[in-house]
Every structure is written in structure tokens, then in C-alpha cells.
Structure 1
Amino acid sequence: MRSHYDVIVIGGGPAGSASAMLLAERGLSVLLLEKDQFPRYHVGESLTGTAGDFIARAGLTEKMAELDFPAKPGVKVVGREGAEFFVPVLRPTWQVRRADFDHLLLQLAISKGVEHVQGAAKTVLTEAGRVVGITVATANREDGDAQAVRAAFVVDASGQSVFMSRQELAGPRRVAAFNRQIALYSQFSGVASDVGETHNSTVIFYRDTYHWSWLIPVSSEIVSIGIVLPTASYKLRGGTSKAAMAWGLEHMHPELTQRTASATQVEAMHVSRNYSYRVDPFVGPGWLCVGDSHCFTDPIFSFGASFALTEAQAAADAIVAAIANPAAEPDLLAGYATYCNRGQGRAADLIRYFWKFPAFFAYMTKGQHGGDLIRLLAGDCFTPEPLAATIEMKKSLEDSPVLHRIPEGRGRDIAARIYERFDFFQGVDAAFLDLSEGVMIYFILAEDDIDLYDSLRDFEEQLVSDFGRDTLAVLSFTPDIIEAMPPLDNAYTIVDRRRK
């Protein structure tokens, strides 16, 4: 390991390996730092069409077949009472075992000239407000001290470790709308497969809102199965991963029960909790974040690895241009952030629309917007101009009858912000707006939780920034102190899930 590189990339998953490889191909010296020994287990086995494009451009198509990665024909969604639809892939792509796929990408990066070191990033080096490197701890360093390594640019691809956030350079990790869920997952043999055009497809079974499961063939013999439940429902289903998995396999959907009747678990049970989050800002002088290191929304449509590869390409373009023209770096980083936020935002809207209007979602896949839905599910969420389906979904998500009852002006605009942010925000049970004396916003929270308070504080700060502090106040109440809430006779009910 040298003392200086053009770029240091922290993390060897798809975001890190792809970023490092693309930068090395452009002639930059790159250090790729990964703390784990590869191959290692990782969830997120279904790739979209945009990931397939990356794989094809990287020349890995034949390797995918050699590794027994099934070609993915599409996504089948199966709901209650016979509701079912199938969305074919837009371009060729695959189902993968992430341990092998991530190792393949890492080896490809190394073959392109990337220097790979197994070690951990410890701290960030800064000078005059700019990141100029990191300190690195490696197992083979005899003195045990971290080594300072400098670079023109540092890429945080550390995934859910959110390294730059923990270093307090990027913004704090804040829970997002699909928080407060638990995913239980493992790999199984002996699972009955689909036949016909849906053979080797990703299958999503859903029962109720936020109660769903995935079934993803990751080889000719092995299938990844996950059960996803809200935290409250998980507790009702036994409160252990084994009990909740058993409940899901038996009760999520009859087809899932039938297909797993003879299944044998061949991998340890894994659990992910409260996995929906965002980090903002996620760029700064001399650094940026890629993929899960700044945002993870929800795994239902398998965007994670594919978005990581897409953002890696945009990150590489921005970094190469910034190193060549330092004066343009602020604009380049701002453009990169806008690009990422656009794609992540459209994906979040797509997921919200599915959960809010599942029947209409199924209809859209077969109607005039069917082509757009196929593109969006393929990962084409980053286009400069929104697709027609995106516009229609956004319009439906933002429309609420209560907004039309509020007089036009500041109050209605604030109400629209509350609805947009918290209509699907788990942990916030209700939101009310009282305009009788200024602007009073009341939230009822599911429980006393520091992450929820942080999210409300961020929301209040954004409201103050956009609408001013004048007469605006935000108050929150938990069930144990709800009797302290003032009368809401004159308040508008923006969101209230307690009735359900």
C-alpha cells in the first residue's frame, strides 16, 4: 500500500468495485479498501436490467453462466385472492449469489489495475475543509497503528456502515419512510420452481401492507427466501427469526407454502432491522458517497445492487472531471447528488404507489404505462426527464382530499409537505395541522424512539428553511402521554393510521 493515490474507495461491494474499476480504466491510481475477506455472504440477489447492461459492458456474460447464475426473465407479483401480474425484464439480467457475484466484481477491478487491500478505514484526513485521505488499519501491520494514506478524492462505498456519516462529514443517518421493518432471510434447497415464461423469475408474495416475501432462484438448486414484516407484526409472530420465518412460510401466501413444503434450509438465518434510511448531504470537497452508503429505501423491487452500479458510473464521471478541472468540482458534485436523488426518489415513489394502490399498479403494468413500468422496474429511474408513468404516480401520491379543504397559501403548502413525507412513514401513526393560531403541527408516534424524533427535527428544520419560523411549531406525542395533547377540534387530519 502506497502513501498516495488518485482515489481511495472504501468498500468492496458492487458500488465500490464498480467505482474503482471505472476509475482505473480512466487511468487513475485507485486503492480499494475492504475490511472483509471475500467471498462473503450478502443479501440482494436479484439484479435489474441496468445491472445486466453493466455486466455486459464489463464482459462478464459468459462468467455469469459459468457461475450457474440463472437468467432472470422478470418479476412475478402474487397478492391476495388471485391477484397476480408478471413484468418481464427489459434487458437480459441475472439472479446471483452475492458472495460469488461481489467477488467476481472485486477480481475484475483488480484485473483493471486497482490495488486491493484488506483493511478498515478508521478516520478521515482533512485540510482546510477538504478531505485529503484516510487512515487505514490492516491486520498485517506489526505496530497495530493506522497508516495515513492520501488521495485527491475519497469514495465512500461502505454500504450500511455509512462511513462518511459516522465521520460527521456526510449528514446523519436518518430513518426513511420504509423504516421499522424486519427482514428474515436464508437460502433453501428443494423449493418447487415456476414453469414456463416465469421460470427463474423473482417472485414477490404479499399479504397486507408491508407484509411480503421474496423467492429468488440463485442457482439451479438454491433459492433465496425472505420474509419481511413490520416490527409490531414480527413481535406478534413470536418475536424470533425462526418463529417469524415459520409463520411467513405458512401464512404469507398459499403458493409460497406449497412451493416450500419440501424445502431444506442450507444457509444460516440472517436478520436486517430498520433498514430504510437516508444520508444527506452525501457529497463534499474531495469526497462522495455511492449506493447504500447514502440511501437504502426498500428491497421489494431489488434496486440495491443495480442502483449501486448505476451510481458508480455517475460517480466515476464526476470524479474524473473534478480531478481534471478542480474549479468545476462543486458543480460536478451537485450534479451527481441531483442525479442520485432523482433516481432514489423515483424508486421510493414507485414502491409507495405499489403499497398504496396495488390493484392500480397491476393495471398499469398492462395498460398504456406498461412500457414505463417495465423500464422503471429495470432500474431506469435516473433519466433526465420523468417517464409518463412516474408523473401519474407522483400526482396520485400527492393528492389527498384533506388538502383541498385547507385554504390556499402557506398552510396548504405545509400540509402537502406533511402528507408527502409521512403518509407512508412507519412509526408516525398520525399527523394533524391546526391553523387557528399560527401553524401548529401535532404528530402521534408509535413509541418513544430517538430515530423518530431525529426525523421530526429534520422535517421541522426543512419547513423553517422553506416557510419561515413565524408562528410555526411542531409537537410530538407518544401513546403514554397522548392525554396531554391539546384538543384538535379545529385541526385538519393529514394522516391517521390508527383508524385502520
Structure 2
Amino acid sequence: MFDLPTFTQVLVIGGGPAGSTAATLLAREGFNVTLLEKEIFPRYHIGESLIPSSLKVLDLIGAREKIDAHGFQYKPGAHYCWADESWDLNFSDLSGNFTYSYQVRRDEFDKLLLDHAKSQGVKVFEGVEVCSLSFEGERPISAICSLTNEKSQTKEICFDFLIDASGRSGLMSTRYLKNREYHTVFQNVAVWGYWKNTKPFDKGREGIIRVESLKDGWLWGIPLHDGTMSVGLVIHKTAFKEKRSKSLKDIYLESIAESVDLKQFLETGELVSEVKSEQDYSYTAEKFASQGYFIAGDAACFLDPLLATGVHLATFSGLLAAASLASILRNQISEDQGISFYEKTYRQAYLRLLVIVSAFYKNSKRESYFWQAQQLTKSQGGDKDKLQETFLNLISGMEDMSDIEEKSEQLFQDASERLRENWSLRTKQLSNELDRTGQEKLIASNQFMSKFHSLFSLSQESAVEGFYIVTTPQLGLAQVN
């Protein structure tokens, strides 16, 4: 029988990037942390492309040298071939020591993070599944667990706080809260495989991700350190169903043949894996935190993979949860304050990325993406170079990292109920006005931007105590003076 403790201060469910980040940070602060992962790592996971904000989190958890040393493919930026336009994004244009990222094999990357968590004092149990949770009122207080492959024997572990990082299965939001909302706009299917002997990308651009739009979707091409290239198709479910008389492999190969940019690099290549698929529906939970729990990573929300922000949102939410919880456990702030900070900060990061992805699906010109990025950030100035810089900061995740470190950006509106109401309204509006029948008009309009900003008003009349993240001398939240 597995040697599970009977009590832990913090129970983390899930050993992916969100769970391992939160657990590692809390353990490094001296808290008693137990992490349960139902799989035994390494385990396969799609989502290989990282953005530069991940480096900041890797620095905070002390794992950057390990990741650098592993030999993952260096990622200097991205190339977009979208809506009859092509352009490059160069991470070298970012400031500081965060001017690159990685293309990773997620089975290897996630195992490195989980093993690092163990080395930092996290009690990690792999192959252990949470069967059920017990509550005191609405507060989770204990979990019944079993071995994933042997459920006849169970053990109970009690905890003070829960971090649900259980991935897309979403233990809290789908089984107990039942508060997951799907975006009708982004009901896509992802289809992918791995290639060898492909042509290298343009000289000086080795390691970039290439993204190309198609009539019914878009393609990604990601070179990996083992000599393979991950090539994927994202297609709307309606178009996918229309093609289902063909095999999955035929749908995949025919879509690649329709491309202009990416197919040239696959001319010498060989598909060396089975073709896999997954429903790629974007969603969000109605709330990300409440008394006794935080929901992190894909368990809280999932965004279309167009901008490769999945690991960013996972590690970012892990950082937010750890900082909020550290200050709560030290009695530096109230639980309600920590919950409010987490909820609003994580939701803001998710929603503004959602806006940019929506603009891409509208097939706008690139200047409109840049302009919208500025409307969603604190940046000023309207010349083309400044707008592109703002866009780069936003989709690299560095804008999110900057926000939580700057006092002036943390006076979020204390209106959780209004936020949920507006979110529900906005989702309905997006589904009505951005469906696939040609009514695509809301995202680029001033009307949309005003509605979006109403969710995040910084007016003094509605603001409450503001907080920002500090990392020295301790990780936690500090209050705006």
C-alpha cells in the first residue's frame, strides 16, 4: 500500500507544469506540500512550444539550469503566415534575460519539473488518483485516494488548502462545482503527427514555430531536439465533421497539401508517427478560487493553442496560486484577499489572450492585432514599431509577468459577481457575433474593447486593496501603499 501521509498543509492534484510550479514554490517557502499525480511520468502530452515568460518562472523555482542543460530546441521566435500576410516575431527584441524560449518534448519537460519538485521537498506520489473529495460546507478538507491501477484499497489525506491542477479533466470544476463554460466560437479539433528528415527552416531562424492559416483552420510546425518536427492541424469541428468520410490521416495530409508555407519544409520529410486527434475546445471555469482551494492551469481554463500560451498560463497560475497561498498561510493577508487577487489576475491574463486569438480567427490584418494588444495593456504610443513591441510583450507572456510585479497595475475591480455576469454575457455575444456564418464583427470594434475593459475597470470608486507579487525576502503578496 502506498505510504500517503494523513495530513498536509497543501494538497496539489496534478503533476503537470501548473501543479509542479505551485508545489515547488510553496515547498521552497517551507510549507508542507503533497502532490498527487495519477500517471507515472514520463507520460505523453501534446503542447511543445513555450514562450519566454516560462523562463521567469523556471528561475523562480530554481529549475532553469536543469532545463537549459537538457538540450531542448532553442526557440528564438515565431513566423506567421496568416490571412495573406507573413511576418516574424523575434524574442531577441524583448528586454532582459528572457529573449528566447524552448521547443520541448512535453513528456521530458514535465518529468524534469516534477523531479525538480521532489528535489525541493515536495512529497510527490505518482500513480495515485484522487477518487473523491470531502467538504466542510463548500470548503474541501480531505481527499480519498487510491493507486491508479488498483482501486480496491484507499487512503484519506486531510489538508488545509487544495490546488487543483488536474488538467483538462478538471476535478473541482467538472465533478463538484460543475461550472465549466465552453466557448462556442472555438470548438476546434486538433490533429497532429511527427515527421523526420524535414527541410530546415530559414537560416538564422532554426527553432522557430511556423504558423499558417488555411481555409478551414491553421497549421503549426515545431522542430524538436530529437530531430523530429511536430506538425499539427487545428480545424473547426463543423469542417472536421464534413471531412469524416475520409480517414484521420487523409484529412491531415490533405490539409498540409493545401498550405503554401509549411508544406515546402515537409517535401523531403517522412511521417513517422500515428496521426492523433483531440477535441480542442476552449473553456473557462466560472470561478478559479474560493474558500480552501485554487484551480490552476488547464483545470481552470483552456485557450486555443494558436499563440502557444498553454504552459505560460499553467506556470503563471501556479506562481499566482503559490504567492497568494503563501501570504494566506503566513496570515499576512486574509483568505478572501488572496482569492480575489488570484481570481482577477489569472482571469485577466486569460481573457486578454482570448481577445488576441479571436482577432486572428477573424483574419484581421496584423496591424489590428498590434492595435488590440495595446488596448489590452498599459502601453502607450501608436507608431508601428511600438505597436509590434506591445504585441510581442503580450503574446510572449512578459506583459502578464510585468503586471504582477508592478504596484500600479494591481488595483483590480472588486466585483466578482459582476465579472461572472459580464463574462457570461460576453461569451454569448462572441458566439452570436463571431460564429462561422459570417457575422464576424465584434472583436475589432471599439464596442468590444469598451465591453472588455468594463471587466477590468481600475477606477478608484470600485477598487479595493491592491496587491502585487514579491519574491524577496519571501514569495508572497505585498499591498499597495
TM range, normalised to the smaller chain?
0.7 to 0.9
Matched, 1:322 2:328: yes
Contact 1:178 1:424 in 2 (8 A): no
> Which one of the candidate residues 164, 167, 182 is aligned to 2:172?
164
Q: If the length of structure 2 is used for normalisation, what is the TM-score?
A: 0.77
1:275-424 pair list within 5 angstroms: 275-325=281-331, 328-361=334-367, 364=370, 366-382=384-400, 384=403, 417=426, 420-422=429-431
1:41 equivalent to 2:44? Answer yes
- Structure 2: how far apart are the matches of 1:220 and 1:2? 39
Equivalent position of 1:134 in the other structure: 143
Q: Distance in 1 between matches of 2:290 and 2:61?
A: 29
* Residue pairs, 1:449-468, within 5 angstroms: none
CA contact (8 A) 2:210 2:262 kept: no
Distance 1:417 1:17, change over 3 A: closer
Counterpart in the other structure of 1:273: 279
SS at match of 1:37: coil
Please say if residues 188 and 280 of structure 2, whose CA atoms lie closer than 8 Å, have aligned partners that are also in contact.
yes
CA distance in 1 between counterparts of 2:226 and 2:157 reads 44
Farther off after superposition, 263-272 or 183-192? 263-272
Mapping of residues 50-199 of structure 1, within 5 Å = 50-79=53-82, 81=84, 83-89=85-91, 90=94, 91=98, 92-118=100-126, 119-138=128-147, 144-169=152-177, 171-199=178-206
| One of 24, 29, 34 as aligned partner of 2:32 | 29
Deviation at 1:241, TM superposition (A): 1.9
Matches within 5 A, 1:409-488: 417=426, 420-422=429-431, 425-426=434-435
Aligned residue-pair number: 400
Q: CA RMSD in A?
A: 2.8
Q: 1:234 to 1:417 in 2, by over 3 A?
A: closer
Distance 1:353 1:139 in 2: 42
Counterpart in the other structure of 1:17: 20
Q: Give the Cα separation in 2 of the matches to 1:341 and 1:428.
A: 29
Deviations 1:81-133 (A, max 9, x none): 4x200011132211111000000000000000111112111111212332112
SS in 2 for 1:199: coil
Change (3 A) 1:75 1:380: same
> Measured at CA, do residues 80 and 129 of structure 1 come closer, stay the same or move farther in structure 2, by a change above 3 Å?
closer
The answer as to 2:3 corresponding to 1:3 is no
8 Å Cα contact 1:177-1:425 kept in structure 2: no
Once the two structures are TM-superposed, the CA of residue 425 in structure 1 deviates from its matched residue by 4.9
- Report the structure number with the largest CA radius of gyration: 1
Q: What secondary structure does 1:313 align onto? A: helix
2:353 & 2:338 partners in 1: Cα distance? 23
Of 238, 244, 249, which residue of structure 2 is paired with 1:242?
249
Q: Counterpart in 1 of 2:381?
A: none
| Residue 245 to residue 285, structure 1, CA distance change in 2 (3 Å) | same
After TM superposition, give the deviation of residue 62 of structure 1 in Å.
4.1
Kindly state the Cα deviation for residue 421 of structure 1 after the two structures are TM-superposed: 2.8
Give the Å deviation of 1:420: 4.4
Distance 1:246 1:321 in 2: 51
How far 1:380 moved relative to its partner? 3.0
- Deviations along 1:257-280, whole A, 9 cap, x unmatched? 221122223333221114211111
Q: Look up the equivalent residue of 1:73 and give its one-letter code.
A: P
What letter corresponds to residue 371 of structure 1 in structure 2?
Answer: E
Unaligned regions of 5+ residues in structure 2, if any? 372-383, 407-421, 441-481
Tell me, yes or no, if the aligned pair for 1:237 and 1:247 is still in contact at 8 Å. Answer: no
Change in Cα spacing, 1:211 to 1:424, as seen in structure 2 (3 Å) is farther
Counterpart for residue 264 of structure 1: 270
Structure 2 equivalent of residue 474 of structure 1: none
Cα distance change, pair 362–60 in 1 and its aligned pair in 2 (3 A): farther
Where 1:358 maps in the other structure, the secondary structure is: coil
Counterpart residue type for residue 397 of structure 2: G
Query: How far, CA to CA, are the matches of 2:286 and 2:270 in structure 1?
Result: 42
Question: Percent identity over the alignment?
Answer: 26
TM-score (norm 1): 0.74
Task: Please give the secondary structure, in 1, of the residue aligned with 2:145.
Answer: strand
Shift of 1:426: 4.5
CA distance 1:2–1:419, shift in 2 (3 Å): closer
Distance change (3 Å), C-alpha of 1:247 and 1:238: farther
Q: CA–CA distance in 1 between the matches of 2:83 and 2:434?
A: 24
Helix, strand or coil at the partner of 1:17: helix
Contact map agreement 1:47 1:306 (CA 8 A) in 2:
yes
CA contact (8 A) 1:354 1:361 kept: no
Secondary structure at the counterpart of residue 144 of structure 1? strand
Report the residue type matching 1:109 in the other structure. A
Structure 1 contact 311–340 (Cα < 8 Å) conserved: yes
Q: 1:329 Cα deviation (Å)?
A: 0.4
